[in-house]
Amino acid sequence: MNCFNHQDREAAAQCRFCGKGVCDECGIRLGRNRGVACSVECERTARAELRKADARRKLGFVGFVLFAVALTVMLALGTERRGGPWLLLLLPYAGGSILMTWFLFFSSWHFYMWAAHGAPFHAGDHVLITSGPHKGIKGDVVRLSAGSATTVVVGLTVDGKSLVHHFGWEELRKLRKPAAPIED
């Protein structure tokens, strides 16, 4: 794939938003491990999507911490009512609360992703893009993205051009593969 702006140069990356190939000179860096954009418009849109994802991640972390603190307090108050040394047990209660909260959040998130999107995804899965500029396009998972268990690389065809693009689990939905033709 060549740079969309310099046809004589090999593309070094793809725009995070539209998937166009960009060379090192044309690409606008979105941050460490966040990809590049091909134009100011794509940069604006990609940064807005990244801010939303960051806000969701922070909200999830705050919910996790609040739930763990509430669980720790409930356990400590229950011990105090029985006349136990609640202050000495506060640290083990906090550790147990964090582990229990992590398990509940992690398992419920995975259950949601499985039920709503068909995740986890594997190489060769047939998927439908559910958001962004490629919404409604079908493609095949090429591989899992390095460094992220929830990002996959999908090969798709747009306007007759083959693209390889990174998508998060929340942007995809697994499709059933068409049945193989029956031979006589």
> Which three-class secondary structure string do you get for the chain?
CECCCCCCCECCEEECCCCCEECCCCCEECCCCCCEECCHHHHHHHHHHHHHHHHHHHHHHHHHHHHHHHHHHHHHHHHHHCCCCHHHHHHHHHHHHHHHHHHHHHHHHHHHHHHHHCCCCCCCCEEEECCCCCCCCEEEEEEECCCCCCEEEEEEEECCEEEEEEEEHHHEEEECCCCCCCCC
**pLDDT tens-digit readout, 10-31:** 888 888 777 788 888 888 888 7
Q: Are 17 and 31 a contacting pair, CB within 8 Å?
A: no
Confidence of residue 179 (pLDDT cuts 50, 70, 90): very low
The domain 126-175 is placed in CATH, from the list 2.30.30.30, 3.40.50.12500, 2.40.50.100, 3.30.930.10, at 2.30.30.30
Task: Report the pLDDT value the prediction gives residue 144, as an integer from 0 to 100.
Answer: 74
Do strands 172-175 and 126-129 pair parallel, antiparallel, or not at all (unpaired)?
antiparallel
Do strands 126-129 and 161-168 pair parallel, antiparallel, or not at all (unpaired)?
unpaired
Neighbours of 75 (CB within 10 A): 19
Q: Are 93 and 75 a contacting pair, CB within 8 Å?
A: yes
**pLDDT tens-digit readout, 123-174:** 888 888 888 777 888 888 887 765 555 677 787 776 677 777 777 777 888 8
Distance CA 84, CA 78 (A): 9
